[in-house]
Each structure stands twice: as C-alpha cells, then as structure tokens.
A and B are shown apart, each in its own frame.
Chain A
Amino acid sequence: MKHEDSIPGVDTKSVIVALTDGIGVPLGRAARSSYFELIRRLAGNERFNRLDPTGRQQVADVLALSIFYGQVVAPLESGRSLLRLAHGAQAQEVRIGRDKLSKKFSDRIGGCVAAFQRILRAQRIPKEVLSFAKLDNFINNVMSAREKAKRETLD
C-alpha cells in the first residue's frame, strides 16, 4: 500500500481488503482504486480531520462499504431490476450481447445483494449513507448516522 493511501491513526486497509480479496482482479482492482482515491481526498479534508479518531475510522470503513456497493452490489441490483422490469413487460429473459440474464442468474444475484444488506443491517448502517455526490456530504451523513445510532442505543 502506498504511503499516500494511509491516514495516520486510521486503518484504511482492513475493511476494503476483506471485501475485495477473493472477488477477482477486475472487480477488486476497480473497487480498491476508487476507494484509495477517496482516502487520499479524505486525508486532506478539513471536515474529516476535525472528527474524533473513532469518527475518522468509521468514515473510512463506511467509505469502503460505499465503494464496494457502487462497484459490485449496485450493478447486481440493477441487473435484477432490469430483469424484473422485462418480466413485468412480458419478456422472459434479457440478452446483452452474448450474455443472457435469466431468472436463475437473477436469483443468485438476489442472494448476493441480500447478504450485503445483512452486513449493513447488522452494523446499523443505513443504506442511504452509501450514496453521495460530494465527499463533505458523505462525511456529514456518516456522522448523522452515528448520532442516530447512539440515540437509539440510549432509548
């Protein structure tokens, strides 16, 4: 890992490696590349650097989940959605070039997506937090989710 891919006091490796080690080079490399691109931005982000150490770690960990979601899980959800739309419109399968998206593939996708969602639920990470247009908004959303989880624990 390059020096600029690290943030002092933050483990920027464990979660992204756990998610991408074993999913193959094409998917894994794309996810890691995007993740470390944003880690480099986080390192210089004022809002991020004002957070407490736990907060900084949580942002880095949720970022890994967010990137994994965008690169791997979201395309699967999208494929499933297209098949569902096609079935609803009287088509039985979808052909993309030589590839065929069938019900069997859709069911397998569903299992994968559901497994990822279980990880989020177990950690009480709202799925909405994974989507963002601006990094500052992402940091704010993660911290809001943390505060909400704290309040729910106290209640």
Chain B
Amino acid sequence: MRPWIDRKVLIKEAKDFVRRNGYFLRQNAHRISSLVEVAVYNSIVEYYRTRGFMLEARNLGPKKSFRYKVSSTGLTRNFSYFRATEPTTGAVVCIFHNTRIQSAHHAHLYYTPDVAVCDEDGNVTERLKSGRDHSYIVNAHLLTFAEVKHLPPFPEALFSFTGLVQEFMPGFIAGTIVLHPDEVHLSPILVFTGVSSEHNEKIRTELGKRYGINIVFGTQKSHGQIANFDELRKYVVAAVKKGAAKAPDEVIIESRRLLRESVESFPD
C-alpha cells in the first residue's frame, strides 16, 4: 500500500525545489518581504472581488503603474487605490493602504492603519491652517480597517487592538454592531505574520467572541490570502453606528443578544 507521505520522496522533492528556485528566492528575498506587507491589502481587495464587486484601479502613475503607498506620509492623490463597485446595488467601496483614518470621538485625532476601507465619499484631502494638505478617511464613512504586525502574536498587541477599535469603530466594543456571515463588510482585522502560542490562541478566541473583531495569525494563510474568507467575521453596516446618535437601550440590548448568537455560530 502506497504510504501517505513518502518521506524520502518528499525530502528529495523539497531539495529539487530549492535547487530550481533557490536562486530566484535568494535574489528576491527583499521583494518577497514587501509582498508580505502587500498581502493584507491584496486579501481585502480580493475579498471584495470574490463578493462580486467590480474593481477599478484609481490614481495610476506613469505607464499605468499601480503605486502602492509604503509609508504613512503622503497625500492620497499621489498613490493608487482600488475602487470596488457592487454591480446590482451600485454600492462603492474604496480600499486604501497606509491612509489616515479619523477618530470616532474627536474630529482631529487620527491613526494610520495598514489598510482602510471606506465608502465612495470617505477619503478627503483638506488644507490645514499651516497651509499643508492632509488626507484622511472621514470616520462616518469608514467601513473597516486592518492593522498588520510583522511579529508573532503577543498579548499586549492583541489587547491593544481593542483600544484602536474603541477609538475608530467603537460600536464593536459597545456591542451595538451585529455580525452576520452573509454580510459584506469585514469586521476590523488584526493580522500577525508570525506563529502563535497557546495562550495567544485563547486571547484571540476570547476577543473575537467578545467584540466580533478578526484576529488572524500567520498560519492561517490560504491561497495567498491572509485567511479563508469564510473564517472572517462580517457585520451589518447599520444606521446606528460610530459617530451617529446613541442607540436606544432596547436596540443595544437586542444587538448584543444577536451578537452573542452570531459569534457562537463562528468556528472558533
């Protein structure tokens, strides 16, 4: 009977693989490292494509080049981004990388996540009193954001992410957000490129259940994406959300009950 995993053959084939591709991998190690950064952005764009959105690249550079923004500085108009349109409803989302997002609690506090998704009118460029221009995503138009840590998961980073969510999408912490696996928009995502300890796996499970956020580890990569999209939590973009008037108590209580039920259905 042919064994499952013939070790001798596997080791030989692994060595052959390196013999044929090792030079390419060594020569392009730096590029491959930058692709790790791009992978999260790519995953979110690909996610919308798999949900049936039509993609359009905006702000292309010379020779129709897509200019990926590698640092937090710089105006939106100087870098490319994807605009995704849902063909039946006409809904539009824009997916930015390294672009500032506005706080839900204060109009002039910001932070720059690795990826941010907003609706069509979300990204603005304003002139400050100093005369400088400044681009950011208006909080009321923010749909989600992703933070990437090029590290193994550790408790401080895991718990700190809830602080970011509290500042920029507080509905998840307040429990006013309703999750549903059939919804389109992803809950905020924290991505670690490294492997986890058992304790951090527990923290991930607990924070995901408690707040409805996504925490992804390096071992979850699938088909070049950060994770299988079915594993990621999605939420209902409702009228009652960050920045809007506070919901009546009965709505909050009902939302929390629905949140509890919906997280119990997730495969954690």
Contacts and interface: CB of A to CB of B under 8 A. Distances in A.
**Residue with the greatest number of chain B CB neighbours at <10 A, chosen from A96, A116, A153:** A96
A52 interface: no
B224 A123 contact: no
Nearest to B29: A26
A92 B80 CA distance: 13
Interface in B12-65: 13-15, 17-22, 24-26, 28-39, 41-43, 45-46, 49, 55-57, 60-61, 63-65
Given A14-B11, A131-B221, A138-B219, A93 B26 contact: no
B166 interface: no
Contacts, number: 213
A140 interface: no
Given A21-B18, A92-B65, A122-B13, A82 B41 contact: yes
Contacts of B9: 122-123
Given A85-B55, A90-B60, A131 B220 contact: yes
B34 A99 contact: yes
B14 A15 contact: yes
B108 interface: no
A77 B29 CA distance: 14
Nearest to B17: A115
A7 interface: no
A26 B150 CA distance: 14
Contacts of A116: 17
B227 interface: yes
B222 A135 contact: no
B206 to A, nearest CB: 13
B70 interface: yes
B127 interface: no
Nearest to A61: B5
A19 B14 contact: yes
A112 B5 contact: no
A135 B5 CA distance: 20
Given A89-B57, A96-B68, A38 B195 contact: yes
Contact of A81 (B46, B60, B82): B46
Interface residues of A, number: 77
Interface stretch (B113-121, B171-179, B197-205): B197-205
A93 B55 contact: no
Given A19-B18, A78-B39, A95-B65, A133 B152 contact: no
Contacts of A61: 5, 7, 10
A74 B38 CA distance: 11
A153 B2 contact: yes
Nearest to A35: B195
A72 B17 CA distance: 12
Interface of A: 11, 14-15, 18-24, 26-27, 34, 37-38, 41, 57-58, 61-62, 66-67, 69-72, 74-82, 85-86, 88-97, 99-101, 105, 108, 111-112, 115-116, 118-119, 122-125, 127-128, 130-135, 138, 145-146, 149-150, 153-154
Interface of B: 1-2, 4-7, 9-11, 13-15, 17-22, 24-26, 28-39, 41-43, 45-46, 49, 55-57, 60-61, 63-68, 70, 80, 82, 152, 194-195, 197-198, 201, 204, 216-225, 227-228, 231, 268
Given A93-B65, A127-B222, 12 more contacts: A15-B7, A19-B18, A22-B22, A75-B35, A75-B224, A76-B32, A81-B224, A82-B38, A85-B46, A85-B49, A90-B64, A154-B1
